[in-house]
Amino acid sequence: MKIAIKYTIKSGRTLTRNLPAQFTVCEECRGKGSHLVEGMRGAVYTWEDFAEDPEFQTDYFGGAYDVPCETCRGERLVTVPEREVLTRSEARFLDMVERVQFEREREEAYLEAERRAEMGYRW
């Protein structure tokens, strides 16, 4: 099994390499294949909330607000490069892609934190 890893360089050109891959349990949904709908994820509900609205509690735990996992599309498993069998050049390519991804995620998390802070000041 192979997985196509894409990497877009600054000029806008996309490099693609097919790397050996294996299945692993999806981290996003922890192998459930679904997760709470966006907007409810990260929200914290207390037992008091549920006590006030028993129907909501039933729906919540019954998966009524679950949507298919965006990461694995409900497959419960995702394909990841099999690092142990990569050649040196493949490993270098993967390192580069992961580093860029990490930087991007960090930047997004930073912007998100800023947005939240701004919203906090407004009210």
The site for Zn ion (CB under 5 A) is made up of 26, 28-29, 69, 71-72
Cβ proximity to Zn ion: between 58 and 71 the closer is 71
Cβ proximity to Zn ion: between 24 and 71 the closer is 71
The nearest distance, CB 80 to Zn ion, in angstroms, is 13
Cβ proximity to Zn ion: between 21 and 96 the closer is 21
The nearest distance, CB 116 to Zn ion, in angstroms, is 25
The nearest distance, CB 65 to Zn ion, in angstroms, is 16
The nearest distance, CB 105 to Zn ion, in angstroms, is 17
C-alpha to C-alpha distance for 45 and 73, rounded to whole angstroms: 26
Q: Could you tell me how far CA 87 lies from the centroid of its own chain? A: 27
Cβ proximity to Zn ion: between 78 and 93 the closer is 78
The secondary structure of the chain as a DSSP string is: -EEEEEEE-TTS-EEEEEEEEEEEE-TTTTTSSEEEPTTTTT----HHHHHH-HHHHHHHHHTTTEEE-TTTTT-SEEEEE-GGG--HHHHHHHHHHHHHHHHHHHHHHHHHHHHHHHHHHH-
